[in-house]
Amino acid sequence: MGFARRDWENQDFAQVVHEAVKEHARTPFREEVWQQLAEGMRFIPGDFDDDTAFKQLREAVQELDAARGTSGNYAFYLSVPPKFFPKVVQQLKKHGLADAPEGSWRRAVIEKPFGHDLASARELNAIVHEVFEPDQVFRIDHYLGKETVQNILALRFANQMFEPIWNRSYVDHVQITMAEDIGIGGRAGYYDGIGAARDVIQNHLLQLMALTAMEEPAAFDAASLLTEKLKVFRAVRLPEDLGRHTVRGQYAAAWQGGTKVRGYLEEDGIDPASTTDTYAAIKLAIDNRRWAGVPFYLRTGKRLGRRVTEIAVVFQRAPHSPFDTTATEELGENAIVIRVQPDEGMTVRFGSKVPGTSMEIRDVSMDFAYGESFTESSPEAYERLILDVLLGDANLFPRHQEVEESWRILDPVEEYWATHGRPAQYASGSWGPGEADEMLARDGRSWRRP
């Protein structure tokens, strides 16, 4: 069932869905299955403040519910800008769509951004929770639906070999990177004024950090996962000197992939004086027994060297080496790298002797790739998450407390940036501004090249 301002009939909506399913389905498209599905598709044109349209929506939903035998269970996917959330949820309540009869359920799915700071996130949560109970609201973050993200917990807690070294005694630092090789495309209206930190660090990267750093949950259920993730968020400490330990940047015009691309300030619809960040890097600490003294470096950016998301747990060097320095001059630090996208899997980097008569040790990698180890194809992240909504399984959805804690962490950084200078410029196709390299160099470290 679709509801939007477009002046479509049921068959127009069904045709759009048909083309999308046919193009993107992971399994062979079967026309007879499609026909059964299409019989249950309806479209209601209308504005969000149009009472007549919402009345039609209620009647159509009730008619479909009776015809398809869905037992009064409705999930509402609010793919609308946040400014319309209050109106939409109030209209759902006003027209009796949000209240479930005994034995049935109602659920609301909300897309990011979940506010633009702590105050707006709290306001948004309050508005939504006036209509839907907290356990009926599913905030969808597609990163948490990716197989590799879920595998962080399996890797850590289903195996004995990793957990004993997953702490400050062995880990030197952790780097979490989400890089994109594209610009803002046609999203100027959405992106300008939000920027990379709000768009990615506040949700995706802080969630990845929580899964990497959290203690073992009592069970793999939503309440247990929430308890442990909140402990991490509440233990996060920002550096005292935000000028030295945070960096923001904007991509500049350059050649990328054999094409001359425009800088952010030259993009259509962008104010030439904009201070919106297209690159952000921050250093965080987690004040608890496991992670005291271990820095977590988070970075994200557009128009970087390539599209990649990864978590790198970088280990300390051996406290003593019996080999002379020439034998180990090409030996780096051991690392476990979890690749979230595009090549889902994991790499373990360690030192090994180079074949030959001399003792020379060099880095080698052991690799696990989902596509090679399993014959089953992974479901798309949204595919998995939407199924979880229908099943009522909230394990992979951030709760409102997590959203608010994430903003509590990021707000001071955004406030500092708003009153201190402008974003550094970096060439499109590079790995970000030089200031980001200097930030790690001051700590005696360097960014991994994914």
How distant, in Å, are the alpha carbons of 24, 57, 228, 290, 405 from that of 232?
A: 37, 42, 7, 11, 10
Which residue from 388, 334, 343 is spatially nearest to 361, judged by alpha carbons? 334
How distant, in Å, are the alpha carbons of 1, 154, 313, 372, 383 from that of 335?
A: 48, 18, 6, 22, 32
Q: What span, in angstroms and rounded, lies between the C-alpha atoms of 433 and 424?
A: 6
Cα three-residue angle 435-423-83, rounded to 5 degrees: 135
| 420 counts as catalytic | no
Annotated catalytic residue, options 204, 245, 320, 400 = 204
β-pairing, 296-301 vs 171-179, is parallel
Q: What is the 3-state secondary structure (H, E, C) of the chain?
A: CEEECCCCCHHHHHHHHHHHHHHHCCCCCCHHHHHHHHCCCCEEECCCCCHHHHHHHHHHHHHHHHHHCCCCCEEEEECCCHHHHHHHHHHHHHCCCCCCCCCCCEEEEEECCCCCCHHHHHHHHHHHHHHCCHHHEEEECHHHHCHHHHHHHHHHHCCCCCHHHCCCCCEEEEEEEEECCCCCCCCHHHHCCCHHHHHHHHHHHHHHHHHHHCCCCCCCCHHHHHHHHHHHHHHEECCCCHHHHEEEEEEECEEECCEEECCHHHCCCCCCCCCCCCEEEEEEEECCCCCCCCCEEEEEECCCCCCEEEEEEEECCCCCCCCCCCCCCCCCCCEEEEEEECCCEEEEEEEEECCCCCCCEEEEEEEEEHHHHCCCCCCCHHHHHHHHHHHCCCCCCCCHHHHHHHHHHHHHHHHHHHHCCCCEEEECCCCCCHHHHHHHHCCCCCCCCC
Give catalytic residue positions.
Answer: 204
